[in-house]
Amino acid sequence: MNREEFLQGLGAALNGEVPSSVIQENLRYYDEYIRSEVSKGRPEEEVIEEIGGYRLIAKTIIEANGGDSQGAGGYRETDSNPYGNQYSGSGQDSYGGYDQRENRRGFHMYDLSRGWRRFIVPVVLVLILFLVISIIGGIFSLLSPILGPLLIIWFLVTIFRNREQ
């Protein structure tokens, strides 16, 4: 496979799945990459083989842009939103399928693999420390009416023992 065949295949695989700006950006990137490697003296076929199949690259690009992993996305430039469908509130998208956003109301997913761990871990540790201190303080507050008289009795007993000896 040569560069032109690779780029045409990639463009055809992305067409209708992602916005045309994403298609052009990726075609430009792979075209420049292949040309730069060929200018270094490598054979064009070797560079393209190293990159991998255009179908796999297209699938990765589609998934990275929020497309359907099955390859049945359906992005159209004329649609009014980036999800590729007209939302009319009826639960039907412009392709006649069910609009999945209807189910997602009020549900948010947070990616904890990013900076959230740096925030959540110290907060959880502080909360655990606060809980432990609260429990210990609660035990002492319950025992304090008893501890005062017990300490006085213990003090008197030790004094009388020392006098007897």
Q: How confident is the model at residue 147 (pLDDT cuts 50, 70, 90)?
A: confident
What pLDDT score does 112 carry?
A: 52
> Would you list the domain boundaries of the chain?
3-75, 112-165
Phi-psi region of 98 (alpha: psi -120 to 50; beta: other; left: phi over 0): beta
Q: Is the pTM of this model over 0.75?
A: no
Question: Does the structure show a pLDDT above 60 at 71?
Answer: no
> What's the sign of the alpha-carbon dihedral 86, 90, 95, 101?
positive
Burial 123-146 (b: 16+ CB within 10 A, else e): eeeeeeeeeeeeeeeeeeeeeeee
pLDDT > 50? residue 113: yes
- Asked whether the predicted pLDDT for residue 129 surpasses 60, the reply is yes
Q: Determine the average pLDDT of the residues in 66-74.
A: 52
Is a pLDDT exceeding 50 seen at residue 92?
Answer: no
Which tokens belong to 161? 């023992």
- Tell me the three state secondary structure of residue 109: coil
Average pLDDT (50-65) is 88
Q: How confident is the model at residue 85 (pLDDT cuts 50, 70, 90)?
A: very low
Percent of the chain scoring above 90 in pLDDT? 29
